[in-house]
Amino acid sequence: MTAMVIIGAGQAAGQTAASLRQGGYKDEIVILGDEAHPPYQRPPLSKQYLSGEHGLERVYLRPEKFYADQSIDLRTGVTVSSINRTQKTVMLDDSQIIHYDKLLIATGSRPRKLNIEGSDLKGIHYLRTIADVDGIREAMKSAKSVCIVGGGYIGLEVASVAVVAGLEVNVLEMEDRILQRVTTSRMSEFYHSLHSNRGVKIHVNTACSGFSGVDGKVAEVICGASAINADLVIVGIGIIPNVELARDAGIDCGNGILVNDHCQTSDPDIYAAGDCTNHPNPILNRRLRLESVPNAMDQARTAAANMLGGDKIYAAVPWFWSDQYELKLQMVGFSMDGETEVLRGDKDTNQFAVFYLHEGAVVAVDAVNSPREFMVAKQLYGKQVNAADLSNPEFELKSLVGK
């Protein structure tokens, strides 16, 4: 009897366990997760679960009974405190020891925290887990004004839910435009106008320097010489990969746990998948640390196949999405890789796609409410195209695929 042990019970962990069974593995699978829930999807947390549109059952990756039905030993509420690579064991925080033959580290990431004056006041929230959102939803019931620190995708998704719920919403962004880290000026401007038109006040070039409170609860967000009233603060300033377990066990880490194209770490019996990893991408020809569901799911499938003795390579063009109001943004590749932008469609209709070209080849696309353009763009990655064809709405994009 062999044992596959998975640390973390998130998106990558849940998929790895399912893929191990689909791959025909009959022996023991143990998932060890420190949250109270079975593996779940985080995207709805800043979208439909925050707004109350989706309940928990739509957030869980699979129904709870799936794990028992598949003889997967899912242990929630347990924290792995160390890995012993010589003994091939992991230790839990209650000192229990569990043996593994192959181990998967899928510990995800955690929110980067603010450490400034007043940052421990009540009413200041981060958003990573179901428990975090339950706290925010409760606070939103009595809040009048919310201040969101960080104008990235998560902050802006929360802004859209909060303003629709009738709250006064301020967004603080220390850079000179929102989404600066992830997209181009054109897209930043589009989303800035979208939010402003819906009543969100966006403050760029504005760093939060502290908080002041009344009776231990936040009342103001301090930005240098000025202050913004807020009875609820949500901080979304990025994440830090959870690499400590791996690093302390002597596994190679850089910006994430370093894995090869088989999702294998520097220890051949230990694999890693999801947000915590840093992997080589043979299509983009560089190493990446991604924070996305497609990456977590594809790495999980790759890791599972290789844990079973396979020879599967992870090679995918990264893609992402974000939902704000009634707009679905779907992205392929990294827009900063292109030097030419080609607009297809009309931004004023909230339905358009921007193609990014490098030396005439498609390297990225941002598609707003344009799923067809997104699907085609995924297949056009790296292909030489004519910019005039892309911008012509009459031109059938599909005809470029396969050329």
Ligand X SMILES: Cc1cc2nc3c(=O)[nH]c(=O)nc-3n(C[C@H](O)[C@H](O)[C@H](O)COP(=O)(O)OP(=O)(O)OC[C@H]3O[C@@H](n4cnc5c(N)ncnc54)[C@H](O)[C@@H]3O)c2cc1C
Q: Is 344 in the site for ligand X (CB under 6 A)?
A: no
Q: Is 291 in the site for ligand X (CB under 6 A)?
A: yes
For ligand X, the closer of residues 17 and 218 by Cβ is 17
Q: Is 108 in the site for ligand X (CB under 6 A)?
A: yes
Which two three-digit tokens encode residue 6? 């998975």
What x/- string results for residues 21 through 50 when contact with ligand X is judged by CB under 6 A?
A: -----------xxxx------xx-xx----
Question: Strand 239-241 relative to strand 80-84: parallel, antiparallel, unpaired?
Answer: unpaired
Q: How far is the CB of 339 from ligand X (least distance, A)?
A: 26
Which two three-digit tokens encode residue 121? 């006041």
**H or E element that contains 7:** strand 3-7
For ligand X, the closer of residues 5 and 200 by Cβ is 5
Which two three-digit tokens encode residue 219? 């009342």
For ligand X, the closer of residues 370 and 397 by Cβ is 370
Q: Is 12 in the site for ligand X (CB under 6 A)?
A: yes
Residue from the set 20, 30, 31, 80 that interacts with ligand X by CB under 6 A:
80
Which two three-digit tokens encode residue 59? 């957030």
CA atoms within 13 A of residue 242's CA, in its CB half-sphere: 20
Q: Is 307 in the site for ligand X (CB under 6 A)?
A: no
Q: Is 10 in the site for ligand X (CB under 6 A)?
A: yes
Q: Is 151 in the site for ligand X (CB under 6 A)?
A: no
CA atoms within 13 A of residue 334's CA, in its CB half-sphere: 14
Contacts of 67 (CB under 8 A, 6+ apart): 17, 31, 38, 73, 74
Q: Is 318 in the site for ligand X (CB under 6 A)?
A: no
Residue from the set 19, 107, 278, 306 that interacts with ligand X by CB under 6 A:
107
Say how many C-beta atoms besides its own lie within 10 A of residue 398's C-beta. Answer: 12
Which two three-digit tokens encode residue 2? 């062999």
Starting at the edge strand found earlier in the chain, the sheet holding 210-214 runs 210-214, 217-223, 226-229
What x/- string results for residues 230 through 269 when contact with ligand X is judged by CB under 6 A?
A: ------------x--x------------------------
CA gap 304, 19 in Å, rounded: 6
Q: Please give the residue ranges that form the binding site for ligand X (CB under 6 A).
A: 7-13, 32-35, 42-43, 45-46, 79-80, 106-108, 127-128, 154, 242, 245, 274-276, 291-294, 296, 320-322
